[in-house]
Structure 1
């Protein structure tokens, strides 16, 4: 980092990047309160309306690693500004939409904004003082969870008391504000990989493979897990991703340096990220359903969408509180220790749910504990990654790590969906997920969080020259103390 960087300017950078991440995450939860009404709003079938959610997920997953690499090549500030543009345009398109096709187009554009998160995390390495780096990384990294936790009750309130289009006009205004803040507060740091070429074949290959994989995972429940379409997409994903990997290890200036990602420290962090993403999302799917299921079931709590969002909001607030504390823990014990602690706290939250899922207060406490663990884990993962990759690959490596989290949430959504659809009860002529189904889903989340902790526990310690960061004019990522071995 430039030693003359003013402290006030640093604060503006961190606040801007955290708000950018929160905004990008809000775009994902924006339509959640409208799910049941989308077929009527857009005059289409439920199956077609589900693409309004799937499109954002798929486009976001494809764009995150690509935009991360472009940030290394052309500059992170430039790419952050670029990401703000489709957020604004997509929000306006959705606000004006009266049918499903323009709504899906708008949601695809909003999905491109997810690239802000890894770009912002990587930029911190360039501009934030070493003593503030861990807490800043933790806050910006956790912004995805914070945005999801706070976005749901806000969106539910708007959807309940105002026209649904206000959701998208509001998101457009928010995206404009973020773009202005990026322009005003984010410094233009020279790109670390300037002069290298962009790997277009690699970007297209990874994009095609991810589209096939995520469509199969996201829509397999609707199409049938053994249908020709689902199996064909899984098969195509395997072929495309293997071909992509073959290309990446043989080309100069790859999109993702697979040799770097194969290092045990990076590889195990990314694998743990998949399990943490799954563990986080299991609760996000199950808790609102338990809150909103009819009381007549004997286990539902009969809350409205707005009330359910408000019961879950303290979890998002707690993540915001815990993130800087996680940065302090990382400074004291290293990011590996913080990641293990975060995964264990997530597991503890799911364990508590076995005795507390019968009341709204109990579920609120469970959400607070789980999100506290997510805040710790999400802040530690990019610190581990940035301490293990060359400066010229920082944004690309963070983009790949963010992709691993997204894959975890996508697979988690599919697995929990299968569990709840298979373990059902019939009431009043309707088939509903059973209490045993919800308990099983929560126990699965607990088990996977424990697995994440076990994987994190065997991540090897960093081996890095003390002057590595100074040699490049950037701040090194947080280093782990010798006690981690």
Structure 2
């Protein structure tokens, strides 16, 4: 079962990363501006942030398999809409449906936890984390390569074939569950959380186009924050909340949620600065002037070192608490941002920073799900991990916007970038990553514990029903 789940997770990660390398091609193929084509990224990101908590709740217990298959069907439809010559609006609708690919990851964690023997759960959670990170890293260069050979429509067609294959695999390997599913869905909580997240993401991702201090940007940002307050008030009072905030603030879960937001900020400052630095030409400002293909290949060593970092974290997890590993990963993000701030005048120096960041990614996002799973009841796994994913989406979007804002603030007159902007951006990313590491050490359980006992928290009773393998 696990190889099939890993394949599904990898495919959906690749599909989720489709938009970024295809923006220029979409603008050219569909005869729209780059600003309009950028919505192919924004729409998917907003959809993912909105649907993840809902799917996480719907996909509990015996509804888990239908929820996973339903998401995959809609992803196949979405990629097909992008591949067909129907115009920009159907393509944008397809990109919205493709946002459901991100909701599959929490479901994969939940399936692994429920269906595998207890001694295999940690390795499975780590493997799913790595598959997702690796797919996102490799998706950029692979998609750019396919688009170079077959065009934008060919890239979406290739993704459609992958998604269809993942659907077939899921039909075969994902088992039915006999776990009781929570009754009902907190639709009011879903509306409030979705509206708040969508408003904040729209404000963050479109701030450059609309103006950072424009009434629309500030109005959406303020409205989103108010909606979050209203959502928090409701979730604490609902009988069956969409996200159980009391679980979200448990020691092991709170540190993962807060650190997930801050670590994603530092990570995307690093990646955004690196991609812009590599591609910017002398006529537009300070940069290395390389092609988009070279920029895409920069994420390949990032993906590889993410895998290595995850394996190192998995081995160290036998001796070191997960929250300490999380802090170490954040420190590597800080080192990567600092390396970029100090050395950015050659491709190998940028590659070095990206490689360090890859190790940080593997250690951070490998440790995070396992740190949470040990403190979350089985029925809440999908919901809790989905909420963590929303926080990471907010961190990613804000980190990207922060990198652009810093570069714009330090840019020379008539230019898009300057060397001082990359230095300031790298230092900002390092500061955010250090804050994330400090958060892990303050909020985390940093005392030395017995490795065997650390894997069996006393706060949650693990399910005693036989695993899938034991039932065969």
TM-score (ref. length: structure 2) = 0.91
Task: Answer yes or no: is the 8 Å Cα contact 1:347–1:450 preserved in 2.
Answer: yes
Using the TM superposition, name which of 34-43 and 250-259 deviates more: 34-43
Matched, 1:253 2:240: yes
| Cα distance in structure 2, aligned partners of 1:209 and 1:145 | 26
SS in 2 for 1:107: helix
SS in 2 for 1:226: coil
| Cα distance in structure 2, aligned partners of 1:185 and 1:159 | 31
| Cα distance in structure 2, aligned partners of 1:122 and 1:401 | 14
| Cα distance in structure 2, aligned partners of 1:163 and 1:48 | 19
Task: Answer yes or no: is the 8 Å Cα contact 2:16–2:101 preserved in 1.
Answer: no
Matched, 1:96 2:80: no
Q: Which residue pairs with 1:65 in the alignment?
A: 53
How many angstroms does 1:266 deviate by?
Answer: 1.9
| Cα distance in structure 1, aligned partners of 2:80 and 2:231 | 35
| Cα distance in structure 1, aligned partners of 2:295 and 2:201 | 28
| Cα distance in structure 2, aligned partners of 1:107 and 1:423 | 33
How many angstroms does 1:288 deviate by?
Answer: 1.7
Q: Which residue pairs with 1:279 in the alignment?
A: 266
How many angstroms does 1:199 deviate by?
Answer: 1.2
- Cα distance 1:435–1:186, how it changes in 2: closer, same or farther (>3 A)? same
How many angstroms does 1:425 deviate by?
Answer: 2.5
How many angstroms does 1:298 deviate by?
Answer: 8.6
Using the TM superposition, name which of 237-246 and 366-375 deviates more: 237-246
| Cα distance in structure 1, aligned partners of 2:408 and 2:465 | 53
- Cα distance 1:388–1:116, how it changes in 2: closer, same or farther (>3 A)? same
Matched, 1:436 2:423: no
Task: Answer yes or no: is the 8 Å Cα contact 1:209–1:238 preserved in 2.
Answer: yes
Task: Answer yes or no: is the 8 Å Cα contact 2:80–2:156 preserved in 1.
Answer: yes
- Cα distance 1:78–1:353, how it changes in 2: closer, same or farther (>3 A)? same
Q: Which residue pairs with 2:42 in the alignment?
A: 54
Matched, 1:393 2:374: no
How many angstroms does 1:132 deviate by?
Answer: 3.2
Q: Which of 342, 347, 366 lines up with 1:379 in the alignment?
A: 366
- Cα distance 1:437–1:133, how it changes in 2: closer, same or farther (>3 A)? same
| Cα distance in structure 1, aligned partners of 2:95 and 2:171 | 24
SS in 2 for 1:388: coil
| Cα distance in structure 2, aligned partners of 1:197 and 1:467 | 24
Q: Which residue pairs with 2:156 in the alignment?
A: 168
Task: Answer yes or no: is the 8 Å Cα contact 1:48–1:100 preserved in 2.
Answer: no
Using the TM superposition, name which of 195-204 and 107-116 deviates more: 195-204
1:193-204 counterparts in 2 under 5 A? 193-204=180-191
How many angstroms does 1:129 deviate by?
Answer: 3.2
- Cα distance 1:306–1:195, how it changes in 2: closer, same or farther (>3 A)? closer
Q: Which residue pairs with 2:395 in the alignment?
A: 408
Using the TM superposition, name which of 231-240 and 466-475 deviates more: 466-475
Tell me the number of residue pairs that the alignment of Structure 1 and Structure 2 aligns.
459
Q: Deviations over 1:284-310 (max 9, x none)?
A: 211122222225779522221112222
Q: Which residue pairs with 1:417 in the alignment?
A: 404
How many angstroms does 1:271 deviate by?
Answer: 0.6
How many angstroms does 1:472 deviate by?
Answer: 5.5
Task: Answer yes or no: is the 8 Å Cα contact 2:25–2:152 preserved in 1.
Answer: no
Task: Answer yes or no: is the 8 Å Cα contact 1:90–1:106 preserved in 2.
Answer: yes
Q: Deviations over 1:155-208 (max 9, x none)?
A: 1112223221111000001101111111222222333x5252211221122111
- Cα distance 1:36–1:368, how it changes in 2: closer, same or farther (>3 A)? same
- Cα distance 1:225–1:432, how it changes in 2: closer, same or farther (>3 A)? closer
TM-score (ref. length: structure 1) = 0.89
Using the TM superposition, name which of 310-319 and 110-119 deviates more: 310-319
Task: Answer yes or no: is the 8 Å Cα contact 1:276–1:408 preserved in 2.
Answer: yes
Q: Which residue pairs with 2:203 in the alignment?
A: 216
Task: Answer yes or no: is the 8 Å Cα contact 2:114–2:378 preserved in 1.
Answer: no
Q: Which of 121, 145, 157 lines up with 1:133 in the alignment?
A: 121
SS in 2 for 1:336: helix
- Cα distance 1:324–1:129, how it changes in 2: closer, same or farther (>3 A)? farther
Q: Which residue pairs with 1:36 in the alignment?
A: 24
Matched, 1:244 2:228: no
Q: Which residue pairs with 1:468 in the alignment?
A: 461
Task: Answer yes or no: is the 8 Å Cα contact 2:285–2:416 preserved in 1.
Answer: no
| Cα distance in structure 2, aligned partners of 1:378 and 1:78 | 27
Task: Answer yes or no: is the 8 Å Cα contact 2:109–2:125 preserved in 1.
Answer: yes
- Cα distance 1:242–1:162, how it changes in 2: closer, same or farther (>3 A)? same
SS in 1 for 2:462: helix
Task: Answer yes or no: is the 8 Å Cα contact 1:136–1:324 preserved in 2.
Answer: no
Task: Answer yes or no: is the 8 Å Cα contact 1:311–1:360 preserved in 2.
Answer: no
SS in 1 for 2:415: strand
Q: Deviations over 1:82-108 (max 9, x none)?
A: 111111000000111443211110100
1:312-461 counterparts in 2 under 5 A? 312-426=299-413, 431-461=415-445
How many angstroms does 1:431 deviate by?
Answer: 1.9
Task: Answer yes or no: is the 8 Å Cα contact 2:259–2:439 preserved in 1.
Answer: yes
Gap runs ≥5 in structure 2: 446-453
